Amino acid sequence: MSVDNSSESLPSEHRVESEYQSINQDEVKSIINPHVVDELDSILDWVRYSVSVFYQAGVFFGHGTDNEWDEACSLVYQAANVPLDTAPLRQELLYQAKLTKDEKARIIDWLQQRVELQRPLPYITNQAWFAGMPFYVDERVLIPRSPFAELIQQGFKPWLSSSPSHILDLCTGGACIAIALADSFEDAIVDGADIDSDALDVASMNIYEYQLEDRVFPLQSDLFAGLEGQRYDLIVSNPPYVDQQDMDDLPDEFRHEPEHALAAGVDGLDLVDIMLKQAPNYMQDQAWIFVEVGNSEVHMTTRFPGLEVEWVELSSGGSGIFAVQKEVLQAYWSSVE
């Protein structure tokens, strides 16, 4: 069972068109049959039943798993308070373990929320994984699914020849990327900036949980507006970048996420445009900025004709991250002014 979907970037990446469908509430409620669940006892019973419920309901996956089995395992094991990072062989040893009455009731409740309300499972359990680390999440923040995890775990090589001392996670949300950066670069100070005070409350919770209050700082800022005087060795950003067409086509599960953290204009690059114009003023010489734009990658050459960025190739999948150095940005904006 996979517990980390850090290779995901946009909702459309994991859509299985033949399985996604809309069903009305009466149809959904009939799927979870109270007479059937009385016959279910073991973990495997409930995993198998959950798989059937998900398949029959045609739920959409993209918030930590990409199939019925992994989603069912995640739901059932969390309801039974079994850690998701338990080794697979040990998880299998628990298949025949019987669940308590309270655990069964919790599974039924979570199944109903997942299927009837199309709530993403991480919002139901208040836990999501990123870069192999668990984080608290709720509807105030996006559920982490960025392919930045691979770059962080590889130390941003080959772009960085030395460890950065001052890092900015711009549009930090729940601070998952900021905390993973601090975990990877143990001597660095990381600023996690976001315009949304509610998201920063979640960020503060995660920072406290990892005891990083002395190294990771949640800052309220509209992009760079609140960061005057700061200079960074590395800037990382997973900003809102979903274009209008993708917003119109979002599955119901993604409607539970804060819209302002997804949408960014017709081509998805409104904030990226502002960011790239302002970024050189906040970068040390030779510093790099890495930006995730997901499917809006297709609009980059139209929005920024002639800008030479380096597109990151990810071995674990995912796409839509580019890197560009301070001096390249300065030269580009000087040439187009």
Last-in-domain residue among 125, 152, 181? 125
Radius of gyration of the chain (CA): 21
Query: Do residue 227 and residue 299 come from a single domain?
Result: yes
Quick one: 253 and 284 in the same domain? yes
Residues 268 and 313 occupy one common structural domain: yes
The residue ranges of the chain whose pLDDT is under 50 are 2-25, 27-28
Angstrom distances, CA of residue 241 to CA of 5, 7, 323: 19, 16, 16
Query: Do residue 170 and residue 224 come from a single domain?
Result: yes
Does the residue 131 lie in any domain? no
pLDDT tens digits, residue range 10-30?
A: 333 333 333 333 444 454 455
Q: Are residues 214 and 311 in the same domain?
A: yes
Q: Identify whether 229 is part of a domain.
A: yes
- By DSSP bridging, strand 166-170 and strand 189-194 are parallel
Q: Are residues 191 and 81 in the same domain?
A: no
The verdict on residue 242 lying in a domain is: yes
Question: Are residues 23 and 51 located together in one domain of the fold?
Answer: yes
- The model's pLDDT over 197-207, given as tens digits with 9 standing for 90+, comes to 999 999 999 99
Kindly tell me the number of DSSP H helices and DSSP E strands found in the chain: 14, 9
Number of domains the chain is built from:
2
Closest CA to 268 of 235, 294, 301, 230: 294
Instruction: Tell me, yes or no, whether 6 lies in a domain.
Output: no
CB 227 within 8 A of CB 139: no
Which pLDDT score, from 0 to 100, does residue 35 have?
73
User: For residue 236, which phi and psi values (nearest 5 degrees)?
Assistant: -125, 135
Name the domain boundary from 78, 98, 125.
125
Q: Are 156 and 290 in contact (CB under 8 A)?
A: yes
Whether residue 16 is contained in a domain is answered as yes
User: Is residue 327 situated within a structural domain?
Assistant: yes
Residue 263 has a pLDDT of 61
Strands (E), the chain: 128-130, 133-135, 166-170, 189-194, 216-220, 232-237, 283-292, 310-311, 321-325
Domain interval for residue 212: 139-336
- Please tell me whether residues 120 and 155 are part of one structural domain: no
**pTM of the complete model:** 0.86
Domain contains 266 = yes
Same domain, 60 and 197: no
Are 274 and 248 in the same domain?
yes
Regarding whether 105 and 146 lie in a shared domain, the answer is no
Q: Is there a single domain that holds both residue 173 and residue 313?
A: yes
Residue 174 lies in a domain: yes
Tell which of 125, 147, 171 closes a domain. Answer: 125
Q: For residue 209, give the CATH number of its domain.
A: 3.40.50.150
- Judge whether 293 and 272 are in contact, CB under 8 Å: yes
